[in-house]
Amino acid sequence: MKQFYMPTRIVHGEGSLSRLKEFVGNQDHVCLVTDKTLVGIGVARKVMDLLSDIGAKCTVFSDVPPNPHEEVVEKAVTQAKKAGCNSVIALGGGSPLDVGKMVAFLLTNPGKLEEYQWDNRPTDAPMAKLINIPTTAGTGSEVTATAVIISRNTKKGIKRDDLFAMVAIVDPALMVSMPPHITSTTGIDAFTHAYEAYVGLGANPVTDAWALEAMGLLIEYLPRAYVNGQDMEARENVALAAVLAGVAMDQAGLGVIHSCSGPVASYYDVPHGLSNAVFLPYAVSYNLIAALDKHVMLAELFGMDTSGLSRREAAGLAVDAVVQFLADLEIPEGLYDYFGTDEDIPKFAQSACDMFLMKNNPRKPKPEDLIPIFEAVLKR
């Protein structure tokens, strides 16, 4: 049994931020959930000025750190309730968007975050109006019903249909200030979402279409956005790819890459996109035989010449293509500078196998299958 559900309106394109006025009125008191960097570089101000033009009230919560904990959510909810907010705009990368979702949810639902995160408490009421405005192109959080918040020392995703935003405004003009290495690694995060959704067990024809389109756009436009951050056509298409990949991932699930990258990123504090990128070629190589036709399609998407080859040989070209793609984006081949001790490797391999996301991977590794991969990625 498969289903597809995605109720968020997506508004995309250069200048689309100006359409905010269609979704906010003068009865709104918005809690703007964002981070200090976006306040510092004036991006939050753009949103506040638009809200002021509309006549909407605005309370800013800008204390969202990378990898937010539950305390951040509780603090934001307390502030929003005290100010009398009735709606939320989440502005930023994955972290402000994830916190914003939970603030909108807890504005109308009683109790604490952990009751919903750990005890699966049912929803009392629809969440407050939520508008997601991403400023990076990668996490896809703007179109997902998932919020990842650290609780009980675990990066714990909360996934429920109540967390879909009313609208996602995806304006690439907000992304031009992203430096090249952030552009490339966040873009590869989007690529891994699409890849894992495409080859995963939860894939269906709708998610396949979104995932393939996302990967095709990233293959063409991510290198352009990397070499010239001002290339608006490239930025626009990379942002679109992140949205398509986000929807595909939310509906179809993830797999071995995010399962391996999770423990590494949390123990070593490696940026999420980078930790996914280094596992990507190994994952493609490992998954090949479990989804041969899909890897042939991936090789062809990269423009590899598969004529006259067996399906196995053609699928193998996907690995070469991915390696070249990452090299073009100057992404490091490993996380050697982050490596701790040899004892970490079996620990990471076991945690990766225990990850819920791994259930969706087309091939099921044992910890000993992953140890050589962790060694290659972590040890020079």
Bridge partner list, 11: 169
Residue 17 or 264 having the CB closest to Fe ion? 264
Least separation in angstroms between CB 121 and Fe ion: 26
* Phi, psi for residue 313 in degrees, rounded to 5: -65, -40
Residue 87 or 139 having the CB closest to Fe ion? 139
CA 21 – CA 100 distance, rounded (Å): 19
Least separation in angstroms between CB 377 and Fe ion: 16
Residue 174 or 274 having the CB closest to Fe ion? 274
Least separation in angstroms between CB 366 and Fe ion: 24
Least separation in angstroms between CB 258 and Fe ion: 6
Strands 167-170 vs 154-159: parallel, antiparallel or unpaired: unpaired
Which tokens belong to 8?
A: 């968020």
CA 158 – CA 347 distance, rounded (Å): 24
Where in 157-196 is the site for Fe ion (CB under 5 A)?
189
CA 219 – CA 224 distance, rounded (Å): 9
Does position 98 interact with Fe ion (CB under 5 A)? The reply is no
Binding mask 57-76 for Fe ion (x = CB under 5 A): --------------------
Q: What is the DSSP string of 341-377?
A: -TTHHHHHHHHHHH-GGGGGSSS---HHHHHHHHHHH
Residue 142 or 189 having the CB closest to Fe ion? 189
Residue 189 or 208 having the CB closest to Fe ion? 189
Residue 28 or 189 having the CB closest to Fe ion? 189
Least separation in angstroms between CB 272 and Fe ion: 6
Residue 138 or 172 having the CB closest to Fe ion? 138
Least separation in angstroms between CB 315 and Fe ion: 24
Cβ-closest position to Fe ion: 189
> Is residue 158 within 8 Å of 117, Cβ to Cβ?
yes
Residue 173 or 277 having the CB closest to Fe ion? 277
Residue 64 or 77 having the CB closest to Fe ion? 64
Which residue do the tokens 């679109």 mark?
240
Query: Burial of 347 by CB count in 10 Å (0-12 exposed, 13-18 middle, 19+ buried)?
Result: middle
Number of residues that bind Fe ion (CB under 5 A): 1
* Phi, psi for residue 15 in degrees, rounded to 5: 85, 0
Least separation in angstroms between CB 45 and Fe ion: 29
End-to-end CA distance of the chain: 45
> Is residue 285 within 8 Å of 318, Cβ to Cβ?
no
CA 224 – CA 235 distance, rounded (Å): 8
Least separation in angstroms between CB 334 and Fe ion: 19
CA 242 – CA 136 distance, rounded (Å): 9
* Phi, psi for residue 194 in degrees, rounded to 5: -65, -45
Least separation in angstroms between CB 193 and Fe ion: 6
Instruction: Look at residue 113 and give its three-state secondary structure.
Output: helix
CA 267 – CA 342 distance, rounded (Å): 14
Name the site residues for Fe ion (rule: CB under 5 A). 189
